[in-house]
């Protein structure tokens, strides 16, 4: 959740608690009672989606780092083969033409080049080894190709989880806001002759103002997981 989502979440918790204390005034058979129930259920979903959102973002960031490491290892493999092939061309002209650097700058170009090198180096393995390449340099290249592919999939999976959780958060929050609009009409109508309860509702319904950041703080949005807040009936909400 970003800071605005978090302030709306805290407001929804207050609204839920207000509904719990006024269940006799807004029974489940009424539109207001149903709206309070929907908000209570939405809060549970928001807890889960917020945790998934944060977890997915962390996985995506981890995947970016792992992919960068795997990419560098793959480039080092290719550089060694290219360098060696150039030397080999002194005795076998044209060999270096089979081991050219990737034509593009993208990951797909890098992968395609690595796969081609692994295939084309196989019949020349002994010649490469004669230039002090490791005996298992082709197997090592295959392992680095696999590691790069796995890192790419992990990064994509983390990004997908992050995006899906964000979409679920938005949908759940939208549902809660729609329920809240019903309460904005029903609650003041029902409590028009009870200023004390109406004042409590007004306080619960208010979304806190955005805190002003200190000048030394970064101006970027912060994602947070909702705190453990009281559940209906007095139990604690668990954010997983």
List the single range of 128-132, 133-137, 216-220 with lowest mean pLDDT.
Answer: 216-220
List the single range of 10-19, 56-65, 69-78, 175-184 with lowest mean pLDDT.
Answer: 56-65
Q: Render pLDDT for 103-119 as a digit per residue (tens, 0 to 9).
A: 877 888 999 999 999 99
Mean confidence (pLDDT) of the chain: 84
Residue 163 has pLDDT above 60, yes or no: yes
CB atoms within 10 A of CB 6: 18
What's the pLDDT at 240? 32
The structure's pTM equals: 0.56
Instruction: Report the pLDDT averaged over residues 112-127.
Output: 95
What DSSP letter does each residue of 81-115 carry, written as one string?
A: HHHHHHHHTTTSTTGGGGSPPPSSSSHHHHHHHHH
Q: Which helix (H) or strand (E) holds 172?
A: helix 137-190
Q: How far is residue 95 from each of residues 103, 126, 231, measured CA to CA in Å?
A: 17, 14, 71
Contacts of 70 (CB under 8 A, 6+ apart): 144, 147, 148, 150, 151
Locate the domains of the chain by residue range: 3-208+222-234
């Amino acid at each position: 959740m970003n800071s605005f989502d978090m302030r709306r979440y805290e407001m929804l918790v207050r609204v839920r608690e207000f509904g719990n204390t006024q269940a006799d005034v807004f029974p489940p058979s009424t539109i207001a009672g149903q709206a309070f129930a929907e908000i209570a259920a939405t809060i549970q979903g928001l807890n889960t989606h917020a945790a998934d959102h944060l977890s997915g973002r962390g996985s995506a960031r981890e995947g970016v780092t792992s992919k960068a490491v795997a990419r560098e290892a793959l480039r080092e493999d290719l550089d060694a083969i290219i360098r060696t092939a150039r030397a080999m061309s002194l005795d076998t002209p044209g060999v270096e033409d089979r081991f050219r650097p990737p034509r593009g700058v993208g990951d797909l170009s890098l992968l395609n080049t690595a796969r081609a090198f692994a295939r084309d180096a196989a019949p020349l393995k002994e010649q490469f080894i004669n230039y002090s390449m490791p005996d298992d340099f082709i197997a090592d290249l295959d392992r680095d190709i696999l590691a790069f592919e796995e890192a790419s999939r992990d990064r994509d999976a983390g990004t997908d989880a992050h995006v899906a959780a964000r979409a679920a958060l938005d949908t759940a929050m939208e549902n809660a806001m729609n329920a809240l609009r019903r309460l904005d009409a029903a609650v003041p109508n029902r409590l028009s002759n009870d200023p004390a309860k109406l004042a409590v509702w007004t306080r619960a319904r208010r979304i806190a103002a955005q805190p002003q950041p200190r000048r030394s703080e970064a101006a970027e949005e912060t994602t947070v997981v909702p705190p453990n807040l009281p559940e209906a009936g007095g139990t604690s909400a668990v954010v997983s």
